[in-house]
Amino acid sequence: MKCNKIHKILYRYHLGELSPQLKEEIDKHLINCPECSAIYTKMVQTLNHFNDKDTIPEQPFYYTRLKQRMENKKEIAESVWSNGLARKILQPSIYMASLVLAVYIGILIGSDTGSYESTLAKNEVVEEDYIEAFVEYQYLNDFQIESIENVLISEKNEGNE
């Protein structure tokens, strides 16, 4: 008999469920094959190790106590939510806040529909103020918005006279 077939029926051999003829054949194989005999001894040691363990003693009413604890935790969690905090106060306030926010956003969108020209005029005023401030620091002798060419031309004209 081949080793693979022996490996498959070793557990039944250990339990004594095999026919006497098959049992003799496996005995002969285990004596001649050191690998199979090593596997069989390890299997027997493992099974004996499991059988030697003490079993956990049964605890009466364990299931009922565990079930009661789980129900108590569930009731505590449900009581906070269902007592009215969420249903009577929190939920309507969230709805109201979202409604107010939606109306505010709608008003903002509706009020900014048209005055492109007024924003353009505001930008021009700002640019002029910037230009005046720039001119004050760039021109000599506190000239108002006059270009240097005008000053030079007037000096040249004064020089010609």
pLDDT digit string, tens, across residues 12-39: 998 888 899 999 999 999 999 999 999 9
Q: For residue 147, which amino acid is it?
A: S
Whole-model pTM: value is 0.35
Backbone angles phi, psi at 20, to 5 degrees: -60, -35
* CA distances for 103 relative to 82, 97, 99, 100, angstroms: 30, 10, 6, 5
Q: For residue 46, which amino acid is it?
A: T
- What average pLDDT does this structure show over 95-103? 93
pLDDT digit string, tens, across residues 117-152: 555 555 555 555 666 666 666 655 555 555 666 666
Domain edges within the chain: 3-52, 58-113, 117-161
Backbone angles phi, psi at 33, to 5 degrees: -110, 110
